[in-house]
């Protein structure tokens, strides 16, 4: 893993995985990650009829 590409540390000092890392891993862990490329845990927009 490469800092700045696969992860970074936020203001609280916690490691945050990037979208690049998730795509390299190849699957969703369903933990509502901040940069999830699959959108798991993101609010879905309501469609207007």
Q: What is the pLDDT of residues 8-47, one digit of tens each?
A: 999 999 999 999 999 999 999 999 999 999 999 877 777 7
Tokens encoding 39:
């959108």
Rg over CA atoms, the chain: 13
Q: Which position has the higher pLDDT, 48 or 36?
A: 36
- The pLDDT, as a whole number, for residue 10 is 97
Q: Is the pLDDT of residue 49 over 70?
A: no
């Amino acid at each position: 893993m490469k800092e700045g590409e696969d992860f970074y540390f936020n203001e609280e000092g916690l490691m945050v995985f990037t979208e690049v890392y998730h795509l390299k891993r190849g699957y969703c862990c369903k933990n509502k990650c901040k940069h999830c490329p699959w959108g798991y845990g993101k609010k879905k927009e309501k469609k207007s009829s």
